[in-house]
Structures are given as structure tokens and as C-alpha cells.
Amino acid sequence: MTRFVGVTRVAGVTRFAGMKDSCRIINDGASSTGPMNLFRELDPRTTLVVWGFHCVLLASISRYDVSKTLLLGAFPVFAFLAMNLRIQPFLRRLRIVVPFILLMVLANVWFDPSPVALRGIGQMPSGLLTGVVLASKAAVSILSLYVLEQTIPLDRLCTGLRGLRVPDALVDQLLFLHRYGLVVAAEADTMRRARDLRSIGKQGRGLLETTRLLGTFFLRCHDRSRRIHRSMLARGFSGSLPLPPSSLLTVRDFAWGGTLVTIFLISRWYP
């Protein structure tokens, strides 16, 4: 069994071991033979600033401007292809939000049927064009987040967030969510299988039984969290998870960060 944190005391200094391994994200879509490791080698603060700037520019595009959305969408597509990522994990993530995207597109078509003229196409409903732009933005944003997830392990991502002066409470919550998300999922799966084994047909699977099951699940999670917290205190937890300090930014970080930001600006405001 892998321990969450190992604590040793050498010359009066408490050292934490195993945090980096226990908090490292498993990149299920990355290939070890990918030809592009640039973003994995850059400082995580540079990567986070570049991705954040890309998301801000993407959100600022007009609801009728499809071409600018496609231009900014070329960056995550290029990174996806250059890093030789697998498409199946991305499609699994996209499948979760597809119903919401389709509902948003249909709502725009329903509430905004006024025509709008497009060069080379003619007239089309304004709501349909707005819905296409919003769906494109959503797909590009999900792809961008997926590439970021596969680019930076979680421990380096949180180190970069702390280097950008993000509050420690938020960073710790992200680490805890990643570390114990699988524990909560396993607990929920155990209770679901127990309910299925005790159910006959649709009996035992109604709304009232599900409500009781959720209440029991909450109590079990609360009890499990108290035991985990006591074990962490016994291993030297002092209120904040240990992460390596941020290193100084290099010339390569400024050069690549400035180049990418310039490309984004040109893609956003080029006529």
C-alpha cells in the first residue's frame, strides 16, 4: 500500500516524502514517443499564463465571428497533434458536455430566428450562427484544457499556481480532490453494487431509496475524511501540502511565452 505522506526528521527538519508521487496525475492520453515536449519542459507558470491568455481571447470573440474562433482553435489542435495524444480520452470528456452544447444551440435557434447575411453563404438564422460559434468555443476550450491536463502533471501545475500567488487553500483543495477523488468514487461504486445486489427489478431503486443512499454515502465520506485527516496529522501535516518551490523563469520561458501570446493576438485581431 502506498502511503500518502512519509515523514522523516533529520537534524530537526521535517521532510515529506512521497507527495510528488502520490499527487502526480496519470496522463492517460499522452504517448511517450510524442515529438513535442516543449510545454512539459517550460516553467508551469509560463504554460498557465499562455493557456489563460488563450482562453480570455477565445471568450472575447464576437458571437458572429466563426473564423476567429477557428484561428484560435488551431493552437490546441496543433498541440494535440504535435504531442501525439490519443483522441479517445478527449472524446470521453467531450461526450459529457455534448447534450448541454446541443441544448444551447437549439435555444439560440429558437429565440433568435432573425436572418443574418454571410459572405459566400447567403442568409442564415442569427441564432444558428451564434450557436455554431458557441459550440466551437466550447469544443476548443475542452480540447485546450485536455491538452493542458496531458502537458503538466498535477504536482507541477499546483507548483505553478502557487508561483502565480494563487491562495494555498485553493491549491490544497485541488490536490486533495485529485488524491481522494478515486477513493470517493470507489466508495460510491461499492454502495451502488450493494444496492443492486439487494434489489429485485425496480424495487429498491426508487427515488426514496436513492435519497437514503446519498445520505448514507455522505456520512461514510465524512467519517472517512476524519480518519484520513487524523492519519495526516500523525504523519506531520501542518495545514498546507508541501510542494517544491518555484524556480526562476528562464529566457526560453519569456521567449516562447511572448511568441505564443503574439500569435494569439494576431489571430484574434487580424482583419
User: 5-63 pLDDT, tens per residue?
Assistant: 444 333 333 333 444 444 443 444 444 444 456 667 788 888 889 888 998 998 888 88
- In the chain, where the domains are located: 6-162+249-269, 168-234
Grid cell digits, residue 8:
522523516
Residue among 42, 12, 9, 11 at smallest CA distance from 148:
42
Cell numbers standing for residue 64: 458572429
Instruction: Please state, in angstroms and rounded to a whole number, the distance separating the CA atoms of residues 141 and 59.
Output: 9
Of 55, 64, 54, nearest to 133 (Cα)?
64
Print pLDDT tens along the chain (271 aa).
434 444 433 333 333 344 444 444 344 444 444 445 666 778 888 888 988 899 899 888 888 888 888 888 888 888 888 888 888 888 888 888 888 888 888 887 788 777 776 666 667 777 788 888 888 888 888 888 888 888 888 888 888 888 888 888 888 888 888 888 888 888 888 888 888 887 777 777 777 777 888 888 888 888 888 888 888 888 888 777 777 777 788 888 888 888 888 988 888 887 6
Distance CA 262, CA 255 (A): 11
User: Are residues 163 and 44 in contact, defined by beta-carbon separation less than 8 angstroms?
Assistant: yes
Residues 6+ apart with CB under 8 A from 76: 54, 140, 143, 144, 146, 147
Task: Read off the C-alpha cell for 269.
Answer: 485581431
CA distance 245 to 121: 54
